[in-house]
Amino acid sequence: MGGDEGAARTEVASAAWGPTAPTHRRYERRSRVGTGEAVWGRASRSVLRWGVKTRSGFSVPDDAEVRPGQRLAVRFRVGPVVVREPVEVVEVVRTDDRVGFAYRTLPGHPVDGEEAFVVTRDGDTVWLTLRSLTRPATTRGWALVFPLLRLAQVVVRWRYRRALR
């Protein structure tokens, strides 16, 4: 979390997400990506290279595979305005049926929290699970527009759920 060096709280390695602090808004949604080994391979490779973000309209300066400790500034353009989102990858999971990562926001990000993207397979079906914990950023300017940012999250999450299809 912004300024918090603690362990990841979105628990990307776990199918069941345990209790979280009431200080953050909790979100979890599972969406079907498709079926088959080819879909699994494509989706699992893509999620580890920021594909959910980039296919949702964000730009990421490093297209290398995510790794714990990786810090970068994701960018999102809204008309002429470019929003800079500094983040740090805090957890990565790679198993035979679960692949994904979580990042925490860093100071300067529009919100304070953590977000996770996890691809799983259940039999032949491939799923994308989104998890996030958010609250207003401590930066005064961003904190004032948090209600608008919550509305933007609805749109962005819709894009995330469609990104790997």
Contacts of 84 (CB under 8 A, 6+ apart): 73, 74, 75, 108
Cα separation, 55 vs 28, in Å, equals 20
Tell me if 99 sits within 8 A of 115, measured CB to CB. Answer: no
- CATH H-level superfamily of 25-162: START domain (3.30.530.20)
Is pLDDT larger for residue 151 or for residue 55?
Answer: 55
pTM > 0.75: yes
Summarize pLDDT for 61-83 with one digit per residue, the tens. 987 899 999 999 999 998 898 99
What's residue 6's pLDDT? 47
What's residue 148's pLDDT? 86
**DSSP H or E run through 142:** helix 140-144
Cα separation, 62 vs 77, in Å, equals 17
- State the chain's mean pLDDT as an integer: 91
Whether residue 5 has pLDDT greater than 70:
no
What's residue 163's pLDDT? 96
Whether residue 1 has pLDDT greater than 80:
no
Domain boundaries, the chain: 25-162
Six-digit token string for 147: 């209600």
Cα separation, 116 vs 12, in Å, equals 7
List C-alpha distances in Å: 91 to 9, 65, 116.
9, 13, 9
Cα separation, 165 vs 147, in Å, equals 29
Q: What is the DSSP letter of 109?
A: S
Summarize pLDDT for 25-50 with one digit per residue, the tens. 999 999 999 999 999 999 999 999 99
Average pLDDT over residues 136-163: 88
- DSSP letters along 12-64, please? TT-SS-----TTSEEEEEEEEEEESHHHHHHHHHHHTTTHHHHTTTEE-S--S
- pLDDT classification of 2: cutoffs 50, 70, 90: very low
